[in-house]
């Protein structure tokens, strides 16, 4: 399995905006960060080496952290898509297999 | 002592597409004589249940409105009542339940209710979703009525009805059905008669039904939807490399969170890295997923993970890169990489 490259994350963010029908230019910067242009501007970058988090997200100068890509996606969408309401996964109680 | 689970099948299809006719035919078959039927009609006066020739105490008509709109109240209460009457010996000891929806019903909330009611889950197991399509008027209906396309999209079986009224099935209708739901076998009903075992006989979601799984995996080529079906499409993603269990979990969580009601159905067989000999079967409706079930063995020599999506407005490219990124991140964490 390939390691997670910043290029793959860039592609994920680009495709995510398209999937959510959100306009925005996604750039990969020279210092290995992802920049989503517009208002507000969002910057996503790997967290510092000693951090317990994996990602740092900066929105209009305010920094947040994320432990994996899922909260990164959630935070980006919450910022850019005001009408967004996350559907939490529910695990069916009924069994898949008949006994 | 383990209680035998009773399969609940959902019979849906647009107005006038032949649901009741097929139901009548099914109930005349001896092997289906112990079937309880819940009928929902959209109107002040229920008629369909009057047309069903079966033991009256096993037929319940819901006339309070469209089933999908009041499903949690009416349907679950009805099923609880049915089970209570069965336990008390007040009705035939039925061994299956068929829910006939109104022609205007969205089947997804009905499936939700069946999958998530705690008390019902100890007694019932989800069976097939069967959707009837009128061979004569079906194409026009599919073009005009969004709900009819959704009914087809979520089906495990599609039944083409009224074949006796037409000399043949239009190629365009077949194409439309395949585009909406390539994994569901299309069966034919003539004068309402059909091989009922093919409809309700097998529990589709029973992973022991290996042939069934092979069928819906094999029948999912890429489809370019026509303009009319642009909002509903199906696609398959495949991965040769095994997927770690936690990556699969995160992937399903992300799909549920971001797709919600647009994920009409997801079925898949997954090569989980921690269980290479026993593949996982996954099944979801919108944001509700079954816990993965495990097959005893692979249905063929092919160990590729395959997930079939039937969705509305979900981009395949996003799903592909989402899975790749999650798998890569999980692999990084497992390896201790930053």
SS (H, E, C) B85-114: HHHHCCCCCCCEEEEECCCCCCHHHHHHHH
How much is the average pLDDT of B120-141? 87
State the distance between the two ends of chain B, measured CA to CA, in whole angstroms: 50
For residues A46, A47, A50, A52, the Cα torsion angle rounded to the nearest 10 degrees is -110
Residue with tokens 């035919």: B25
Within 8 A of B258 by CB-CB distance, chain A residues are: 16, 19-20, 73, 77, 86-87
> In this complex, which of A9, A20, A73 lies closest to B254 when CB atoms are compared?
A73
Tokens of B318: 């996003």
Per-residue pLDDT of A31-52, as tens digits, reads 999 999 988 899 999 998 888 8
Per-residue pLDDT of B167-188, as tens digits, reads 767 788 888 898 888 888 888 8
> In this complex, which of A68, A90, A98 lies closest to B5 when CB atoms are compared?
A98
What average pLDDT does chain A have? 87
User: Per-residue DSSP letters for B184-218?
Assistant: SPEEE-BTTB--HIIIIIS-TT-TT-HHHHHHHHH
Predicted local distance difference test score (pLDDT) of residue B85: 87
- Kindly list the strands in the beta sheet with B59-62, ordered across the sheet, starting from the edge strand earlier in the chain: B59-62, B35-40, B96-100, B6-13, B124-134, B157-161, B186-188
Distance from CA of B27 to the nearest CA of A (A): 22
Count how many Cα atoms sit within 13 Å of the Cα of residue B282 in the half-sphere of its side chain. Answer: 25
CA distance B135 to B164: 9
Entry pTM: 0.70
Residue A55's H or E segment, with its range, is: strand A55-59
| A49 Cβ contact list (under 8 Å, min separation 6) | B338
What does the buried/exposed string (b/e) look like for B246-274 if buried means 16 or more CB atoms within 10 Å of the residue's CB?
bbbbbbbbbbbbbbeebbbbbbbbbbbbe
Whether residue B257 and residue A88 make contact (CB cut-off 8 A), yes or no, is yes
The phi, psi pair for B288, rounded to 5°, reads: -105, 125
A&B contacts, CB < 8 Å: 143
Q: Are B18 and B161 in contact (CB under 8 A)?
A: yes
Predicted local distance difference test score (pLDDT) of residue B319: 97
Tokens of B238: 């495949």
> In this complex, which of A1, A19, A95 lies closest to B318 when CB atoms are compared?
A19
Compute CA distances B322 → A12, B236, B248, B253, whole Å: 6, 14, 11, 11
Q: What percent of chain A has pLDDT over 90?
A: 64
Provide the 8-state DSSP code for B243: B
> In this complex, which of B4, B281, B325 lies closest to A8 when CB atoms are compared?
B325
Provide the 8-state DSSP code for B272: B
Per-residue pLDDT of B52-79, as tens digits, reads 444 455 566 655 444 445 556 678 888 8
ipTM for the whole complex: 0.93
Which chain B residue has its CA at the smallest distance from A84's CA? B258
How much is the average pLDDT of B256-270? 85
Within 8 A of A2 by CB-CB distance, chain B residues are: 328, 331
């Amino acid at each position: 399995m390939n390691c997670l490259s910043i290029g793959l994350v860039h592609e994920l963010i680009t495709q995510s905006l398209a999937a959510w029908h959100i306009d925005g230019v996604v750039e990969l910067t020279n210092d290995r960060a992802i920049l989503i242009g517009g208002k507000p501007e969002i910057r996503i970058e790997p967290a510092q080496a000693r951090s317990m988090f994996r990602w740092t997200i900066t929105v209009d100068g305010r920094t947040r952290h994320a432990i994996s890509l899922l909260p990164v996606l959630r935070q980006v969408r919450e910022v850019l898509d005001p009408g967004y309401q996350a559907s939490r996964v529910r695990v069916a109680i009924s069994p898949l297999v008949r006994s | 002592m383990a209680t035998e689970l009773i399969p609940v099948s959902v019979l849906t299809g647009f107005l006038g597409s032949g649901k009741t006719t097929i139901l009548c035919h099914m109930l005349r078959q001896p092997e289906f004589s112990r079937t309880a039927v819940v009928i929902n009609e959209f109107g002040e006066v229920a008629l369909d249940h009057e047309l069903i020739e079966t033991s009256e105490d096993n037929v319940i008509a819901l006339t309070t409105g469209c089933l999908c709109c009041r499903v949690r109240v009416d349907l679950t209460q009805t099923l609880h009542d049915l089970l209570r009457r069965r336990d008390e010996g007040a009705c035939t000891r039925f061994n299956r339940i068929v829910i006939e929806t109104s022609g205007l019903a969205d089947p997804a909330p009905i499936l939700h209710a069946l999958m998530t009611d705690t008390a019902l889950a100890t007694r019932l197991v989800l069976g097939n979703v069967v959707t009837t399509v009128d061979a004569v008027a079906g194409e026009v209906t599919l073009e005009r009525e969004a709900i009819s396309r959704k009914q087809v999209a979520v089906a495990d079986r599609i039944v083409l009805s009224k074949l006796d009224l037409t000399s043949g099935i239009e190629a365009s209708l077949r194409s439309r059905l395949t585009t909406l739901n390539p994994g569901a076998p299309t069966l034919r009903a003539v004068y309402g008669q059909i091989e009922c075992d093919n409809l309700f006989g097998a529990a589709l979601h029973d992973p022991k039904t290996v042939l069934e799984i092979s069928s819906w995996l094999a029948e999912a080529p890429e489809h370019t939807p026509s303009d009319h079906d642009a909002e509903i499409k199906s696609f398959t993603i495949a991965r040769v490399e095994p997927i770690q269990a936690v990556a699969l979990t995160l992937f399903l969580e992300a799909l549920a969170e971001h797709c919600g009601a647009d994920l009409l159905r997801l079925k898949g067989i997954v090569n989980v890295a921690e269980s290479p000999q026993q593949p996982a079967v996954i099944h979801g409706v919108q944001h509700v997923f079954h816990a993965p079930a495990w097959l005893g063995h692979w249905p063929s020599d092919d160990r590729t993970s395959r997930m079939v999506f039937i969705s509305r407005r979900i981009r395949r490219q996003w799903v592909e890169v989402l899975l790749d990124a999650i798998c890569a991140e999980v692999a990084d964490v497992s390896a201790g990489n930053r």
